[in-house]
């Protein structure tokens, strides 16, 4: 079920470790992320055996693990997580095939109509899915002024560009609509129903070794990128259901990354906001504008949200300027003002980078490491990117640690088991649990309690809970 890929190198069944993956490279990988040792173990075995096999495999390389000081992370988090993932993969999530089918019919009909309309506007048939052909139609034939270039210098036809030239020609609107519907058809509506089992359930593969930060990834099919926004997001999510007699509960960590940031940085403003359960974006806006929270305007809150979100990624003034539609200089002032108000936060950022530079790696809450050799690059752009990665990895990776701890705790929880509940999906800051109708409420509340108490931070962890027959209703 689970193909393990380690930093791009596939470990195939029966492969000789020394042949396909040299020891220095493995040690490096272990040291970096502490998750490589069950790669070999998981691969060739039935999923049920994955956990045990990983442990057995562990024995052979314990020395390496301990020398990397990663045994606790492995022993207490990653290895216990394996049977949890196996259970989630085997459980799968219910799919409403009739809803899928009706949805596909609607989308196909609209795509046919849009294709006719677009070809008519263009005056000649062409492949709408080809960005090259589309650019030729838009920018040469129809003489619309181009809106931007791709990384390789081509004239971009990306959504963001098309949004900007929306009013100039009716074809643009049709193409945006076409793109959205074509994505739904080709990625979700057509492939997914082919993958369901006899019980109409869909089983993903949770990959424990795919990311550099410690997050999981999901593939074949990816159930971590099911549409939720846009005109058809809710309808898409409503196609994912609980089994007969069951309901779903969705438990979302609220602002977990900013809470992690508050915990590590000890910034008084952030700590205070979360301890008083205030709206963090409104609070930031109030700080920036020197107003009481109740006087913050919607656009001021939106700007604060962008900056709060952006600082998890180490957003620069250019990007901020574009996001907020202000000049770069204004953005610089905005950022400066932000860090003047949150001086402890600024100091913490500097500390992460300084420690990373001297250690060569950053460390997350659970003791996961990420090596960042590019921090010492003479290339400024590379070094800057590594700095952003350092900050982001500590935050994103620690949030990943926390939800993994919650998953392990939930899996062994007697109360959830007694309620007939099982966790079936994880989407980075969200867990989906399925249980019989009569016990779903208790199961949701129990899961919520586990998620809120599994890690002890300097700020409370907040979890939003929703219950419903399908994934849309559970939000």
Q: How far apart are CA 189 and CA 101, in angstroms?
A: 8
Per the rule left: phi > 0, alpha: psi between -120 and 50, beta: everything else, 143 is left
Least distance CB 398 / DNA (angstroms): 13
Least distance CB 237 / DNA (angstroms): 9
Least distance CB 197 / DNA (angstroms): 17
CA distances from 327 to 300, 305, 322, 330 (A): 16, 18, 8, 5
138 phi, psi to nearest 5 deg: -65, -50
381 contributes a contact to DNA by CB under 7 A: yes
Least distance CB 224 / DNA (angstroms): 6
Single out the segment in contact with DNA by CB under 7 A; choices: 101-109, 148-156, 265-273, 408-416: 148-156
Least distance CB 66 / DNA (angstroms): 26
290 contributes a contact to DNA by CB under 7 A: no
Q: Exactly one of 32, 241, 364, 396 binds DNA (CB under 7 A); which one?
A: 396
How many Cβ atoms sit within 10 Å of the Cβ of residue 134? Answer: 22
Do the strands 246-254 and 430-436 form a parallel or antiparallel pair, or are they unpaired?
A: antiparallel
453 contributes a contact to DNA by CB under 7 A: no
Q: Which residue has the tokens 């057995």?
A: 56
How many Cβ atoms sit within 10 Å of the Cβ of residue 145? Answer: 9
Binders of DNA among residues 153 to 182 (CB under 7 A) are 153-154, 156-160, 162, 179-180
Least distance CB 399 / DNA (angstroms): 8
Q: How far apart are CA 128 and CA 34, in angstroms?
A: 45
Q: Exactly one of 241, 255, 389, 454 binds DNA (CB under 7 A); which one?
A: 389
Q: Exactly one of 27, 235, 428, 462 binds DNA (CB under 7 A); which one?
A: 428
Contacts of the segment 26-29: beta carbons below 8 A, 24+ positions apart = 26/61, 26/64, 27/64, 27/68, 28/371
- How is residue 149 annotated by DSSP? B
Q: How far apart are CA 299 and CA 278, in angstroms?
A: 18
319 contributes a contact to DNA by CB under 7 A: yes
- CA angle, 334 as apex, 330 and 336 as ends, to 5°? 115
78 contributes a contact to DNA by CB under 7 A: no
Q: What is the CA radius of gyration of the chain?
A: 24
329 contributes a contact to DNA by CB under 7 A: no
429 contributes a contact to DNA by CB under 7 A: yes
Residues in contact with DNA by CB under 7 A are 127, 129-133, 135, 148-154, 156-160, 162, 179-180, 183, 186-187, 191, 207, 210-213, 215, 217-222, 224-230, 233, 309-310, 312-316, 318-319, 322-323, 328, 381, 384-385, 388-389, 392-393, 396, 427-430
């Amino acid at each position: 079920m689970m193909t393990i890929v380690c930093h791009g190198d596939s470990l195939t069944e029966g492969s000789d470790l020394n042949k396909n993956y040299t020891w220095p490279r493995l040690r490096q990988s272990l040291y970096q992320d502490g998750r490589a040792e069950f790669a070999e173990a998981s691969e060739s075995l039935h999923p049920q055996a994955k956990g045990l096999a990983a442990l057995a495999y562990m024995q052979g390389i314990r020395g390496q693990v301990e020398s990397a000081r990663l045994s606790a992370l492995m022993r207490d988090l990653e290895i216990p997580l394996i049977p949890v993932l196996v259970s989630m993969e085997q459980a799968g999530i219910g799919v409403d095939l009739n809803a899928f089918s009706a949805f596909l019919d609607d989308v196909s009909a609209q795509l046919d109509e849009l294709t006719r309309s677009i070809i008519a506007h263009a005056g000649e048939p062409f492949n709408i899915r080809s960005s090259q052909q589309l650019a030729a139609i838009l920018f040469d034939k129809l003489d619309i002024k181009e809106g931007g270039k791709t990384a390789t210098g081509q004239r971009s036809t990306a959504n963001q560009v098309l949004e900007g030239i929306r009013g100039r020609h009716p074809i643009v609107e049709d193409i945006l609509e076409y793109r959205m519907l074509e994505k739904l058809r080709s990625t979700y509506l057509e492939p997914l129903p082919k993958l369901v089992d006899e019980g109409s359930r869909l089983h993903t593969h949770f990959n424990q070794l795919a990311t550099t930060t410690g997050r999981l990834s999901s593939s074949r099919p990816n159930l971590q990128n099911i549409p939720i926004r846009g005109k058809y997001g809710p309808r898409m999510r409503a196609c994912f259901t609980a089994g007969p007699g069951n309901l779903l509960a969705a438990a979302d960590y609220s602002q977990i990354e900013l809470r992690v940031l508050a915990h590590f940085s000890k910034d008084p403003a952030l700590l205070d906001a979360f301890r008083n359960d205030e709206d963090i974006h409104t609070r930031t806006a109030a700080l920036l504008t020197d107003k009481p929270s109740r006087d913050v305007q919607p656009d001021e809150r939106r700007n604060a949200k962008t900056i709060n979100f952006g600082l998890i990624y180490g957003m620069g003034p250019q990007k901020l300027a574009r996001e907020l539609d202000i000049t770069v200089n204004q953005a610089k002032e905005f950022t400066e003002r932000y860090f003047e108000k949150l001086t402890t936060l600024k100091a913490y950022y500097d500390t992460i980078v300084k420690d990373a530079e001297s250690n060569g790696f950053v460390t997350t809450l659970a003791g996961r490491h990420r090596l960042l050799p590019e921090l010492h690059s003479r290339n400024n752009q590379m070094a800057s990117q590594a700095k952003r990665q350092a900050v982001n990895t500590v935050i994103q990776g620690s949030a990943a640690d926390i939800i993994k701890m919650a998953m392990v705790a939930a899996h062994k929880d007697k109360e959830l088991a007694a309620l007939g509940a099982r966790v079936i999906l994880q989407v980075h800051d969200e867990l989906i649990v399925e249980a019989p109708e009569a016990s779903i409420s208790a199961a949701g509340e129990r899961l919520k309690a586990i998620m809120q108490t599994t890690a002890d931070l300097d700020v409370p962890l907040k979890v939003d809970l929703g219950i419903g027959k399908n994934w849309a209703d559970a939000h």
